[in-house]
Structure 1
Amino acid sequence: MEFSRSKRHIRPATSRMARTSHIRRQIAILESLPPGSLSASDRYAAAVAARHIFEIVRNGDNVDTVVNNGAVPALVKHLLRPEPHEAGVGIPYEYQVEESCALAISHILIFKNECADLFFERGILPLLVNLLNASIEDFCSIELKNIAYGAAIAIYYLAELDSIRTCVRNAGAIPPLVKLLESRDPVVLTSTACALQSLSCRNEENLILILESDALSKLIRLLAFEDGDLQRLRVSIIAKLYSSELSDDIKKKLQQAGALQPVINLLSSHCSITQRLSAWLIGIFADDPACRIHIAQRGAIEPLIEILSSPDHELKIEASKAIAILAQDEHNQVGIAYGGGMLPLLKNLGSKHEHIQDNSALALYRLVSNEENIHDFLKVGGVAKLLKTKFNTQFAEDYVSDTIEILQEKMTGQVLAEAIYLMEDNMEDNMNKKFQTSILLGLAHICSPNDLKTIFMDNNGLDILLDLLAHGNKSQQQISSNIFLQIDDKTAEPFPTKAGQHSQSPKMSSNELSGSNDECPDVTFVAEGRSFNANKTRLLASSSVFCAMIDGGYEIRAYRPCRCQLKCCT
Structure 2
Amino acid sequence: MSCHISYFYLPFKTAATVVLMLSSPEEEVLAKACDAIYKFASKGDENKVTLLGLGAVEPLYKLISHEDPIVRRNAVMVFGIMASNHDVRKLLREMDVTNSLISRLAPEEDVVIHEFATLCLAHMAAEYTSKLQIFEQGGLEPLIRLLGSPDPDVNKNSVECIYLLVQDFQSRAAVRELNVIPPLLELLKSEYPVIQLLALKTLEVISNDRETRVILTEHQGLDYLLKILETKEFSDLHVEALAVVGNCLEDVDTMQWIQRTGGLKKLLSFIGVSTVPDVQKNAAKAIAKAAYDSENRKILNEHEVEKCLINLLGNDNDGVKAAASQAISAMCENLASKRAFGPQGIPQLVQLLSSDNEEVKEAAVIALANLTAASPSNASAIAEAEGIEPLINTLSAERDGAIANAATVLTNMAMQEPFRLNILSHGIMSALVGPLRSTNSQVQSKAAFTVAAFGCDADARTELRNASGLGPLVELLHSKNEEVRRNACWAVMVCASDELTAVELCRLGALEILEEINLSTGHKNNFSEGALEKLLDNNLSQKYSQMGYLSSSNIITDGFYDCGQVKLHI
TM-score range, shorter chain: 0.5 to 0.7
Q: 1:17-96 counterparts in 2 under 5 A?
A: 18=112, 20-21=114-115, 53=155, 72-74=181-183, 76-77=185-186
SS of match in other structure, 2:353:
helix
1:128 is matched with 225
1:404 is matched with 496
1:364 is matched with 451
1:206 is matched with 296
Tell me how far 1:21 sits from its aligned partner: 3.2
SS of match in other structure, 1:369:
coil
SS of match in other structure, 1:259:
helix
Q: 1:234 aligns with which of 317, 324, 329?
A: 324
Cα distance between partner residues in 2 of 1:255 and 1:122: 41
C-alpha spacing 1:332/1:448, structure 2 compared with 1 (3 Å):
farther
Q: Is the CA contact (8 Å cut-off) linking 1:178 and 1:214 kept in structure 2? A: no
The alignment's TM-score, normalised by the length of structure 2, stands at 0.54
Letter in 1 for 2:411: A
Q: 2:347 aligns with which of 261, 277, 284?
A: 261
Tell me how far 1:160 sits from its aligned partner: 5.6
Q: Is the CA contact (8 Å cut-off) linking 1:266 and 1:275 kept in structure 2? A: yes
Q: Which has the larger radius of gyration?
A: 1
1:187 has 2:278 as partner? yes
Tell me how far 1:260 sits from its aligned partner: 0.4
2:528 is matched with none
Q: Deviations for 1:236-271, whole angstroms, at most 9, x for unmatched residues?
A: 22111112xx2x211221124x00012112334455
Q: 1:6-405 counterparts in 2 under 5 A?
A: 6=22, 7=34, 8-9=56-57, 10=60, 13-14=76-77, 15-16=79-80, 18=112, 20-21=114-115, 53=155, 72-74=181-183, 76-77=185-186, 97=191, 102-110=196-204, 113=207, 119-132=216-229, 134-135=230-231, 141=232, 143-159=233-249, 167-169=257-259, 172-182=262-272, 183-202=274-293, 204-243=294-333, 246=334, 248-256=335-343, 258-269=344-355, 272=358, 274-286=360-372, 287-310=374-397, 312-349=399-436, 355-373=442-460, 375-382=462-469, 390=477, 392=479, 393-405=485-497
Cα distance between partner residues in 2 of 1:213 and 1:20: 49
Aligned residues: 379
SS of match in other structure, 1:235:
helix
Q: Is the CA contact (8 Å cut-off) linking 2:438 and 2:444 kept in structure 1? A: yes
Tell me how far 1:379 sits from its aligned partner: 2.9
Q: Deviations for 1:337-385, whole angstroms, at most 9, x for unmatched residues?
A: 4434223423433556555444333423443434554553443234566
Q: Is the CA contact (8 Å cut-off) linking 2:437 and 2:444 kept in structure 1? A: yes
Cα distance between partner residues in 2 of 1:402 and 1:150: 53
Letter in 1 for 2:348: P
Cα distance between partner residues in 2 of 1:200 and 1:409: 46
Tell me how far 1:209 sits from its aligned partner: 2.4
Structure 1: any 5+ residue segments left out of the alignment?
33-48, 81-95, 136-140, 412-444, 450-488, 494-508, 511-570
Q: Is the CA contact (8 Å cut-off) linking 1:109 and 1:157 kept in structure 2? A: no
The alignment's TM-score, normalised by the length of structure 1, stands at 0.54
Tell me how far 1:492 sits from its aligned partner: 2.0
Q: Deviations for 1:180-230, whole angstroms, at most 9, x for unmatched residues?
A: 21111113222323333333332x332222222222111111112232332
Cα distance between partner residues in 1 of 2:288 and 2:181: 25
Cα distance between partner residues in 1 of 2:473 and 2:285: 45
Structure 2: any 5+ residue segments left out of the alignment?
1-15, 23-33, 35-55, 61-73, 81-103, 105-111, 119-141, 480-484, 504-536, 542-557, 565-570
Tell me how far 1:162 sits from its aligned partner: 7.5
Q: Deviations for 1:59-86, whole angstroms, at most 9, x for unmatched residues?
A: 9877789x89998534534767xxxxxx
C-alpha spacing 1:302/1:55, structure 2 compared with 1 (3 Å):
farther
* Runs of 4+, deviation exceeding 6 Å: 22-32, 49-52, 58-65, 67-71, 98-101, 407-411, 445-449
C-alpha spacing 1:289/1:128, structure 2 compared with 1 (3 Å):
closer
Tell me how far 1:50 sits from its aligned partner: 6.5
1:492 has 2:555 as partner? no
Cα distance between partner residues in 1 of 2:184 and 2:472: 66
Q: Is the CA contact (8 Å cut-off) linking 1:53 and 1:104 kept in structure 2? A: no
SS of match in other structure, 2:477:
coil
Q: Deviations for 1:405-461, whole angstroms, at most 9, x for unmatched residues?
A: 1576999xxxxxxxxxxxxxxxxxxxxxxxxxxxxxxxxx97999xxxxxxxxxxxx
C-alpha spacing 1:209/1:409, structure 2 compared with 1 (3 Å):
same
SS of match in other structure, 2:415:
coil
Tell me how far 1:322 sits from its aligned partner: 1.4
Q: Is the CA contact (8 Å cut-off) linking 2:144 and 2:183 kept in structure 1? A: no
Letter in 2 for 1:400: V
Q: Is the CA contact (8 Å cut-off) linking 2:163 and 2:201 kept in structure 1? A: no
Work out which structure has the larger RCO, using CA pairs closer than 8 Å and 6 or more positions apart in sequence. 1
C-alpha spacing 1:171/1:406, structure 2 compared with 1 (3 Å):
farther
Cα distance between partner residues in 1 of 2:75 and 2:425: 69
Letter in 2 for 1:151: A
Letter in 2 for 1:186: P
Letter in 1 for 2:19: S
Tell me how far 1:328 sits from its aligned partner: 3.2
Q: Is the CA contact (8 Å cut-off) linking 1:304 and 1:323 kept in structure 2? A: yes
2:553 is matched with none
Aligned-pair RMSD on alpha carbons?
Answer: 4.6
Moved more, 318-327 or 354-363: 354-363
